[in-house]
Amino acid sequence: MLRTLLAVLVAVPTMLVVVPAATANDHGLRDVAKRPLVGTAVDMSALANDPTYKAAIAREFNTVTPENVMKWETVEPQQGLTDFSQGDALVRFARANHQVVRGHTLVWHSQLPAWLTSGTFTNRELEAILRRHIFEEAGHFRGRIYAWDVVNEAFNEDGTLRDTIWLRALGPDYIAKAFIWAHKADPHAKLYYNDYNLESIGPKSDAALALVRQLKARHVPIDGVGFQGHLGIQYPYPDTFGDNLERFAAAGFDVAITEADVRMVLPVTPEKLATQATYFGDMMRSCAAVRRCVTFTLWGFTDKYSWVPGFFAGEGAATPLDEAFHPKPAYFALRDALARAG
């Protein structure tokens, strides 16, 4: 749309020359459908060092998420010493490539700096530290982030709240407070609750739905819910994913698939790749079918840089492009599902 508009604007003054809308970006997943926007997590050192990786991100995607560089351990490695330079680099890259940025993540129990986890702070101090972190980070990126994952992974599988430094210090209201502070720091960013194993209808997604409904009823500024979408073909596909997205949307929330990948037990076989393709295609179709499903983000798009082998022993090959950036069946399944979305 933007590119079509640009082509028209360029063409109009001369009236004779028709400037084609085609650019180097015209053949990526980003060009197939108006919605959802399609994105990837970005590994900033790969972006800096691997030109093929960089070109593929520009070509394929219109939303990007920093895989690590906006996490607390990176942005405040020593107390009081903030460093947003890598996040700034991603924001610049995104702007140059007409991409939006999903900020990830302000409040989490993981990838916290050591000064924080091994410090001896009172509950009041921890509340002040969290508040300050949110104001500093969301304030630093104010106006440049499309959506923030404000709170990440707050629930256990049974729907109870996870025991974290934040729950212990502030009580369950840490979640509401985080959203209120984030909204003050960046009033235009969409604010999301984000979690894994939220795909199916069940205790965990029921609890998340109850939470976000309560927040909305209290006029806490929350706009959306992110479903991470870390799947594996050794587990059944979450068949209720589409209905689940629908019930969150019906409750008045934007929804997004925020970290999609589909891992498999190695070695790779053609059969496993075919199964993986159906999982990716089904996830994309579920999103495309729900009007309020605004973005579909992959947690890495090439097996060359995927986090999966490092975290799940014996598993891998979880993304749509192989290590050589060649498309796997999953890539075509995503493209076809998008094409049907129109």
What lies within 8 Å, CB to CB, of 169 at 6+ separation is 121, 123, 126, 127, 130
How near is the Cβ of 80 to ligand XIL at its closest, in Å? 24
CB of residue 67 to ligand XIL, shortest distance in Å: 5
| Catalytic residue from among 60, 67, 76, 153 | 153
**What 3 state SS string does the chain have?**
CHHHHHHHHHHCCCCCCCCCCCCCCCCCHHHCCCCCEEEEEECHHHHHHCHHHHHHHHHHCCEEEECCCCCHHHHCCECCECCCHHHHHHHHHHHHCCCEEEEEEEECCCCCCHHHHCCCCCHHHHHHHHHHHHHHHHHHCCCCCCEEEEEECCECCCCCECCCHHHHHHCCCHHHHHHHHHHHHCCCCEEEEEECCCCCCCHHHHHHHHHHHHHHHCCCCCCEEEECCEEECCCCCCCCHHHHHHHHHHCCCEEEEEEEEEEEECCCCHHHHHHHHHHHHHHHHHHHCCCCEEEEEECCCEHHHCCHHHHCCCEECCCCECCCCCECHHHHHHHHHHHHHC
Q: Which is nearer to ligand XIL, 154 or 288 (CB)?
A: 154
The span from the CA of 24 to the CA of 55, in Å, is 9
How far is it, in rounded angstroms, from Cα 278 to Cα 233? Answer: 10
Residue numbers 10-39 binding ligand XIL by CB under 6 A:
none
Q: Which residues ranging from 226 to 245 are in contact with ligand XIL (CB under 6 A)?
A: 228
Q: Nearest distance from residue 73's CB to ligand XIL, in Å? A: 10
Whose Cβ is closer to ligand XIL: residue 67's or residue 76's?
67
Q: Least Å distance between CB 119 and ligand XIL?
A: 22
Considering only residues 81 to 140 of the shown chain, the ones binding ligand XIL according to CB under 6 A are none
Quick one: which of 23, 68, 240, 275 contacts ligand XIL (CB under 6 A)? 68
Q: Which residue's beta carbon is nearest to the bound ligand XIL?
A: 307
Q: Which is nearer to ligand XIL, 152 or 302 (CB)?
A: 152
Nearer to ligand XIL, 66 or 329 (CB): 66
- Minimum Å gap between C-beta 318 and ligand XIL is 11
- Nearest residue (CB) to ligand XIL, 228 versus 244: 228
Q: How many CB atoms lie within 10 A of CB 289?
A: 14
Rule CB under 6 A: which of 178-197 touch ligand XIL?
196
One of 31, 60, 67, 137 touching ligand XIL (CB under 6 A):
67
Confirm whether 153 is a catalytic residue: yes
Cβ-based nearer residue to ligand XIL, 127 or 309: 309
Compute the least distance from the CB of residue 298 to ligand XIL, in Å. 11
> Among residues 244 and 297, whose Cβ is nearest to ligand XIL?
297
The yes or no reply on residue 307 touching ligand XIL (CB under 6 A) is yes
Binding of ligand XIL by 65 (CB under 6 A): no
Q: Is there binding between residue 152 and ligand XIL (CB under 6 A)?
A: yes
- Out of 137, 254, 259, 261, point to the residue binding ligand XIL (CB under 6 A): 259
Distance CA 130, CA 181 (A): 10
Asked if residue 278 binds ligand XIL (CB under 6 A), the reply is: no
Q: What are the CA-CA distances from residue 60 to residues 215, 275, 326 (Å)?
A: 35, 23, 13
Total residues contacting ligand XIL (rule CB under 6 A)?
Answer: 7
Shortest Cβ 303–ligand XIL spacing (Å): 13
Residues marked active site are found at 153, 259
Query: Which residues contact ligand XIL (rule: CB under 6 A)?
Result: 67-68, 152, 196, 228, 259, 307
